[in-house]
């Protein structure tokens, strides 16, 4: 490819969901028609099968499906007994659902700032924020990384905190070779269409011990234990069988998609080294890769430049949750997170990007900084 003046312009969307359908078309089509034929749309054997497969996939004792990742978080916090008067340590650098779930239980989120190189919750600061009211840590595997899981587990057990993981970005990630979903007390996944493994609508799940998953199953189904026995205030947060069957139809492709994203990520790292700040990945992480993020004080200009050259980008996330009007009550300064959200930019990194497209993206970024 020539350098200097751009000779042609490509059009690269941020993601290409339709391609996923084309790559699993016959499996997805039969999942849909089979669901319609069985006419079992909510609960039943399909859901049990889904939960078995997902538990096995991440090496967990059990899995409880939910209607979304958000509901996975809320039902997990409830299952862990979190409620009014409790404090939950968390990160402000996340999608709003993480903070929302804590507040929905009646508990107070206590924000811990992030690490400037990984954008994950800063474990050194975490311990300084623990009080007599602290009951749980709800941390986020931002971009598909995870924090030092064994260190965090040790902190949680020393302070008697429930370790709850927002793994909406990290299905397929491993820590020291151990899959995410098998380490924390409760791990919450999302099958939102844009995530690593997407449904064609909303879906989510939680993994953990059978005892905890039974509690999640109770909360997701109106707090019921039997057909007519309502023992807790619950929700309608059940998975839609059409969605769980679609997710299972796509699951065999996930490892390949992640491999491809890993290769793209390495290529970007190599090409952009010394040009722009990239996220520092701990070598103990086998990353499932959700998004590829770069950081520059000239973020807004760069975003506009890339758009002018046909490259669609995104921001994960444009503001911290603790600066959102709805959550101002729980604001506490997190200077690193507050600076970071103004500088981050997510580049296209979907598995079906061609080599030529990756090259074009890197060359366009380089040209901006030249």
| Residues of this chain that bind ligand PLP (CB under 6 A) | 68-70, 94-95, 97-98, 140, 166, 168-169, 190, 192, 202, 204
Q: Which residue is nearest to ligand PLP (CB)?
A: 69
Contact between residue 189 and residue 69 where contact means Cβ atoms under 8 Å apart: yes
Provide the minimum distance between the beta carbon of 167 and ligand PLP in the complex, in angstroms, as a whole number.
8
Nearer to ligand PLP, 130 or 197 (CB): 197
Which of 134, 137, 144, 153 is closest to 86 using CA atoms? Answer: 134
* Positive or negative torsion for Cα 268, 273, 275, 280: positive
Nearer to ligand PLP, 346 or 364 (CB): 346
Provide the minimum distance between the beta carbon of 227 and ligand PLP in the complex, in angstroms, as a whole number.
28
C-beta atoms surrounding 145 within 10 Å? 24
Contact between residue 246 and residue 28 where contact means Cβ atoms under 8 Å apart: yes
How many Å apart are CA 68 and CA 359, to the nearest integer?
A: 35
Provide the minimum distance between the beta carbon of 188 and ligand PLP in the complex, in angstroms, as a whole number.
7
Provide the minimum distance between the beta carbon of 60 and ligand PLP in the complex, in angstroms, as a whole number.
18
Nearer to ligand PLP, 156 or 247 (CB): 247
Provide the minimum distance between the beta carbon of 163 and ligand PLP in the complex, in angstroms, as a whole number.
16
C-beta atoms surrounding 297 within 10 Å? 11
What is the residue-wise DSSP string for 239-255? PBHHHHHHHHHHGGGHH
Nearer to ligand PLP, 202 or 240 (CB): 202
C-beta atoms surrounding 318 within 10 Å? 10
Q: What's the residue count for the chain? A: 370
Nearer to ligand PLP, 65 or 70 (CB): 70
């Amino acid at each position: 490819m020539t350098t200097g003046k751009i000779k042609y312009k490509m059009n690269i969307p941020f993601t290409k969901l339709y391609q996923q359908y084309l790559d699993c078309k016959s499996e997805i089509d039969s999942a849909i028609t089979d669901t319609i034929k069985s006419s079992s749309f909510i609960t039943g054997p399909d859901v049990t099968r889904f939960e078995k497969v997902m538990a096995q996939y991440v090496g967990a004792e059990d899995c409880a499906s939910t209607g979304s990742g958000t509901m996975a978080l809320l039902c997990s916090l409830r299952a862990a007994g979190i409620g009014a008067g409790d404090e939950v340590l968390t990160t402000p650098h996340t999608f709003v659902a993480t903070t929302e779930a804590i507040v929905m239980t009646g508990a107070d989120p206590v924000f811990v700032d992030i690490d400037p190189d990984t954008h994950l919750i800063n474990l050194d600061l975490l311990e300084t924020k623990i009080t007599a009211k602290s009951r749980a840590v709800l941390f986020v595997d931002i971009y598909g990384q995870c924090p030092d899981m064994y260190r965090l587990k040790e902190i949680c057990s020393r302070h008697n905190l429930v370790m709850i993981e927002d793994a909406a970005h990290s299905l397929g990630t491993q820590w020291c070779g151990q899959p995410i979903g098998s380490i924390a007390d409760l791990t919450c996944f999302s099958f939102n269409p844009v995530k690593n493994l997407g449904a064609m609508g909303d879906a989510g799940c939680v993994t953990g011990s059978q005892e905890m998953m039974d509690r999640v199953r109770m909360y997701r189904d109106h707090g019921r234990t039997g057909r007519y026995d309502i023992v807790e205030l619950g929700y309608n947060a059940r998975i839609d069988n059409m969605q769980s069957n679609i997710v299972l139809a796509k699951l065999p492709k996930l490892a390949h998609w992640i491999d491809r994203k890993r290769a793209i990520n390495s290529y970007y790292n190599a090409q952009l080294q010394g040009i722009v700040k990239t996220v520092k990945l701990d070598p103990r992480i086998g990353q499932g890769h959700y998004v590829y993020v770069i950081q520059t004080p000239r973020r807004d200009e760069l975003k506009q430049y890339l758009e002018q050259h046909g490259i669609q980008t995104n921001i994960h996330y444009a503001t911290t949750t603790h600066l959102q009007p709805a959550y101002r009550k729980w604001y506490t300064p997190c200077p690193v997170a507050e600076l970071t959200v103004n500088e981050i930019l997510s580049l296209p990194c979907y598995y079906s990007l061609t080599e030529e497209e990756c090259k074009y993206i890197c060359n366009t970024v380089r040209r901006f900084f030249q």
